[in-house]
Amino acid sequence: MKLNWAEMLVVNNPLRVFEQRFQIGWMKKHARISSGGSFLEIGCGRGAGASIIREKFSPGFLCATDLDPKMMNRALRYLPGQKRKSISFCAADGLYLPFPDSVFDAVFGFGVLHHIPDWQGALAEIARVLKPGGTYFLEELYPTLYQNFITRHILLHPEENRFCSPELKEALDSAFFTARASFELKFAGILAVLEKVS
Ligand SMILES: C[S@@+](CC[C@H](N)C(=O)[O-])C[C@H]1O[C@@H](n2cnc3c(N)ncnc32)[C@H](O)[C@@H]1O
């Protein structure tokens, strides 16, 4: 589901960049991944995360994707010229990724699963395109944050098939992910570094 005007304000601002820089730094510390690999980001928004991923992990190839083609234009404006060197942007649905099986060393998803009605299907897609032993970097929010009595009137999210900590963990197990590190606020959200069991 695409963002409405209110969430555009929430994600396209310098505070979010600061937060993502901190999160990606934490992820790097807990990951076992070398530079030069093939990386994918789903739900990349305007590309601020992709730029930080490139800086911190030095991938050989980074493809940043988003369901909303308008985000690609935003990314081209946000990251002009050299700033998007070695990043390819492509509009794609996280549920139907246009890549063969087992091609990526790492997949990143920041705040995107909770925008996808069939988020378990998206997890299966992420597992499909990751190499065995590949790393999935995840940041997600729980409904207490985005569907409480205030935010449900301002933000736009799918209403059915929502997940909190137990449902997410069960689905990660079913998609054969095991956690290397996680930081969770049970009623708010989670930051995690996961590995696809080979
Ligand atoms: C909350 S924003 C997060 C943007 C960015 N990752 C960040 O953390 O600032 C969620 C993003 O996911 C995208 N999105 C929503 N549904 C999607 C889907 N099915 N496949 C891929 N991207 C999707 C939206 O267009 C939006 O850019």
User: How many CB atoms lie under 10 A from the CB of residue 70?
Assistant: 13
Domain membership flag for residue 169:
yes
Q: Report yes or no on 12 lying in a domain.
A: yes
- Domain extent, residue 15, equals 5-22+34-178
For CA atoms 188, 27, 176, 90, give the dihedral sign: positive
Q: How many domains does the chain have?
A: 1
42 lines ligand 1 (CB under 6 A): yes
Distance separating alpha carbons of residues 30 and 77, to the nearest angstrom: 32
pLDDT for 150 beyond 90: no
* 195 within some domain: no
Q: For residue 75, what is the domain's CATH number?
A: 3.40.50.150
Range of lowest pLDDT (99-103, 118-122, 130-134, 156-160): 156-160
Averaged confidence pLDDT in the chain: 93
Residue 147 lies in a domain: yes
Per-residue pLDDT of 55-78, as tens digits, reads 999 999 999 999 999 998 999 999
Task: Confirm whether 185 is domain-assigned.
Answer: no
Q: Ligand 1 center to residue 166 CA distance, Å?
A: 22
Tell me, yes or no, whether 145 lies in a domain: yes
pLDDT one-digit tens code per residue, 7-53: 777 778 889 999 999 999 999 999 999 899 999 999 999 999 999 99
Ligand 1 neighbourhood includes 3 CB (under 6 angstroms): yes
Tell me the pLDDT tens digit for each residue of 16-25: 999 999 999 9
- Asked if residue 107 is part of any domain, the answer here is yes
Mapped onto helix, strand or coil, the DSSP state of residue 14 is helix
In a domain, 78, yes or no: yes
